[in-house]
Structure 1
Amino acid sequence: MDWNKTKTIFILTFFILNIFLSFKLIERKNESQLEVITKSTIEDLLKEMEIKYPKLPQIKKTETHISALNIPFNTEELSKLKQQQYTLNEDGTLIGIFESPITLTNPLQPEEEVAKFISENLVNGTKYSYWKTGEDAKKVYFFQTFDGKPIYFNKKAMLIIHLNEEKQIIGYEQNFLTVQMKEAEQNILPPLKVIEVLLDKQYLQYEGIISKIELGYFNLPEIAGNIQVLAPTWHVVIGNNHYFVDAIDGELLKIGQNWGGEIGTTF
């Protein structure tokens, strides 16, 4: 064995490795500096424009598209439903009517109490988050969640609780998406970049107030049958307006026309 030759190869190998690692270190340092500069610039601009915004959520840097199906509730799940009559429609919607109305202790602000009720009495009840109470105060809307993030404005991932004139719970309509596959992880826009997108599109004006910014999912057009593809999406509330921005490509997503008013069956 030629030790001198072997030693030379080792030295050259480590020399090349050190050059590579040094290059990667400089690259990461430059990316970090650019991110800090961009962040500082946007924060300064928001300060100059007197725009107020909440504490930004701490998130991981990558997310993924997910594919899901609206699979009807099975017999085992339905057997757990108590003190109610239910019907499973052909489209997979579960309609439930309670044998006796459920009285709320705080009917003027029902969201927390209703959320607790559905978590204890409905199939997958813990996997929904409150969205809003209807204009007539007779419907309470919940969006299904995945990994704790809401799936926005998807009829196949929604729960509607129905109240009577006395603001008692009398029934519900429920749909649920089952996630089939997660795609490859991709980098997503940080919250400040999303705010910059809305600034560029002039949806955020001088002295504007951002009351909420959260990460969820928004459905893309169905690709085949009832397969849903859900994209990671930023939800930003500015004043009374809700904006949904694709967290990967920054595209502003629109809500379907039929979501403008009340939805759901009349009980």
Structure 2
Amino acid sequence: MDWSRAKNVLIYAFLLLNLVLGYQLWNDLQEQADSNLDFTSLESNIQKMMDEKGIKILAKIPGDTPALPKISYRFVDGDQNDRMINLESPVDSKLIFTSKELVNALKGSIPDIGDYWYDEAASRAGEFILHPLVDGKWPLFKINLTLYYSEQKIISYRQPKIEVSDPGDEKEQRVLSASKALGNLIENFLPDGAVVTEIELGYYGEVFNSDAHLPASPAWRFILESGKEYYVQGISGDVISPNTEKAKE
């Protein structure tokens, strides 16, 4: 055996391994940095209260505060509980993680699926949840296109048909910042030890069967590790607490 050559091979192998491990460590730190809370966006008293209540934030706080109008929508057939439709050809469920492939795979069965946003946080075992997009960007929470899967195949779906009205002369208003909304929750609503895992801006409105147009306002959605949801209306700042549909000041 040529020990000199073997030693060189081992040295190169260890160098390569160190490079791979170093890259992985850098990538993990980069992802962690990207998701870290910018505590400077919260007031000092809110940061202190976070420490006192043992509240953790694992989601990045968005910094954007777009100007958005209130909207209205209606269920086309007056009923949000549409029947379940079976797919003629089941689709591999892993495609849900690549939206372009998902759209290509399901557009024959659901032509407007490209106008929906995949809600990973709201999805659960056996169901993928998507929400219609307002103006092609903002999810309309609580209105669900539900994809049902079994044995790693999407086999059926349920899709309430809605129609979003043109806001017309409805005035656009700058939404409350996510940090302000979060500060209100930390101070008045979140329980001790709460862990916030997601913060998302979209629209929230009343959900009930009706032919009439239903109002919807911009809202920040906060999801806890426990699965509970809080919505903070982006214009008024009112909070809708989990498991209730009652707005609180």
TM-score of Structure 1 vs Structure 2, range by shorter chain? 0.5 to 0.7
- Unmatched runs of 5 consecutive residues or more in structure 1: 1-36, 73-88, 259-267
**Any idea what SS the aligned residue of 1:161 has?**
strand
Distance 1:112 1:48 in 2: 35
Residue of 54, 70, 73 corresponding to 1:68: 73
**Would you say the 8 A contact 1:57–1:191 is kept in 2?**
yes
Instruction: Decide whether aligned partners of structure 1 residues 44 and 68 sit closer, same or farther in structure 2, where only a CA change above 3 A counts.
Output: same
Return the alpha-carbon distance in structure 1 between the equivalents of residues 98 and 66 of structure 2: 34
Task: Give runs of aligned pairs for residues 228-239 of structure 1, distance below 5 A.
Answer: 228-239=214-225
After superposition, residues 1-267 of structure 1 pair within 5 angstroms as 39-42=42-45, 44-45=47-48, 48-49=51-52, 51-53=55-57, 54-71=59-76, 93=82, 95-104=84-93, 106=94, 111-113=96-98, 116-118=101-103, 120=105, 121=107, 122-131=110-119, 132-135=122-125, 137=126, 139-147=127-135, 148-154=137-143, 158-164=144-150, 166-182=151-167, 183-205=170-192, 208-220=194-206, 225-240=211-226, 241-254=228-241
> Normalised by the size of structure 1, how large is the TM-score?
0.60
What percentage of aligned pairs have identical amino acids? 19
- Look up the equivalent residue of 2:203 and give its one-letter code: Y
Could you say what secondary structure the match of 1:225 adopts? Answer: coil
Q: In the alignment, residue 218 of structure 1 is paired with which amino acid?
A: Y
Give the count of matched residue pairs.
Answer: 195
Q: 1:168 to 1:48 in 2, by over 3 A?
A: closer
Question: CA, structure 1 residues 96+115, in 2 after alignment: closer, same or farther (shift >3 Å)?
Answer: farther
Equivalent-residue separation in structure 1 for 2:239 and 2:155 (angstroms): 37
SS at match of 1:133: coil
C-alpha deviation, 1:244, in angstroms: 0.9
* Offset at residue 204 of structure 1 (A): 4.7
Using a 3 Å threshold, how does the CA distance of structure 1 residues 42 and 194 change in structure 2: closer, same or farther?
farther
- Give the C-alpha shift of residue 125 in structure 1: 0.8
Taking CA–CA contacts closer than 8 Å with sequence separation of 6 or more, which of the two structures ends up with the larger relative contact order? 2
Unmatched tracts of structure 2, length 5 or more = 1-39
- Contact (CA 8 Å) 1:65, 1:231: kept in 2 or not? yes
Shift of residue 38 of structure 1?
8.9
TM-score, normalised to structure 2, is 0.63
After superposition, the Cα gap between the structure-2 partners of 1:149 and 1:103, relative to the gap in structure 1 and judged at 3 Å, is same
Aligned to 2:11: none
Give the aligned CA root-mean-square deviation in angstroms.
3.5
Matching residue's letter, 1:60: T
CA distance in 1, matches of 2:176, 2:80: 35
Contact 1:198–1:204, Cα closer than 8 Å, also in 2: no
1:170, distance to aligned residue in structure 2 (A): 1.8
Specify the structure having the higher radius of gyration (Cα): 1
Residues 198 and 91 of structure 1, relative CA distance in 2, 3 Å threshold: closer
CA distance in 2 between counterparts of 1:203 and 1:47 reads: 10
Return closer, same or farther for 1:257/1:61 CA change in 2, 3 Å cut-off.
closer
